Amino acid sequence: MDLSLRTETWGQDDQSWLGSQHGTEAARTITLDVSKFTANTHYPDGYFKSGLPLGKVTATGLYGPYGGRASEVQTVTITGTPTGGTYTLTFDGETTAAIAFNAAASAVQTALEALSNVVPGEVVCAGGPHPGTAVTVTFGGRYLGQNVPQMTAASGSLTGGTSPTVTVTTTTAGGSSASDGTENLAGFLFCAVAAPTSNSSNTKIPAAMLDHGKVIAAKLPIAVDAAGQAYVNGRIQFS
């Protein structure tokens, strides 16, 4: 019996992102559309790395890189330096109670959370206090990664200052720049796959994808945003 130590090297295949063996036995065969990937970003060393987040192209059924989804951020700004009074915000047809001219971010968040179409956890307000500093509103919960309606403001009850006005701007649009299906996270490349050479005409590569199991988010070769994690909740757990 040979009990000597042997070492095997698996090249580029680093699967340290796997949180458990659950789901690995059922990794399914897919086909990558090479034209959807960017060389220096997705295969900088000639390999599509294990753990690469993937999305499914609706039109072809092939897979490309997950496009990601940004959470919408809207900014509430008061100009004209009011010294008193209140204003209101309207989101998707629902209007808040009066918000003080010098409200802290927490007060703006409380007012929004009191709306029938917003529950705690769906907005997070930062910045402030008014009127000197703008308040940002970041949408989460069921609005996570979504392009939500822009709020409007009514500033007629503000007093003092010079024509005080409340404006709302969208500083980060929610949603994804992708619209071909890859804006939805489908799973993760299970094993590293060699990319075609520059003179290759092969634009479709067979691969395997993990679409349920447990993932260590910090060890993924490309990070997955909160919206992507929420989309696969129930199929994939993140730690």
Q: What is the pLDDT of residue 45?
A: 86
Nearest in space to 72 (alpha carbons), one of 153, 128, 136: 136
CB contact set of 156 (below 8 Å; sequence gap of 6+) = none
Single-letter amino acid, residue 114: A
Q: Where are the domains of the chain?
A: 32-66+178-238, 73-172
Q: What is the pLDDT of residue 200?
A: 67
Six-digit token string for 51: 């753990």
Contact 144, 130 (CB under 8 A): no
Q: What is the pLDDT of residue 4?
A: 58
Rounded Cα gap, residues 18 and 55, in angstroms: 18
Q: What is the pLDDT of residue 7?
A: 44
Number of Cβ atoms within 10 Å of the Cβ of 213:
21
Digits of tens for pLDDT over the chain (239 positions)? 555 555 444 445 889 999 998 889 989 999 999 999 998 889 888 899 999 999 999 999 999 999 999 999 999 999 999 999 999 999 999 999 999 999 999 999 999 999 999 999 999 999 999 999 999 999 999 999 999 999 999 999 999 999 999 999 999 999 988 899 999 999 999 999 998 877 667 789 999 999 999 999 999 999 999 999 999 999 999 99
Nearest in space to 73 (alpha carbons), one of 20, 123, 6: 123
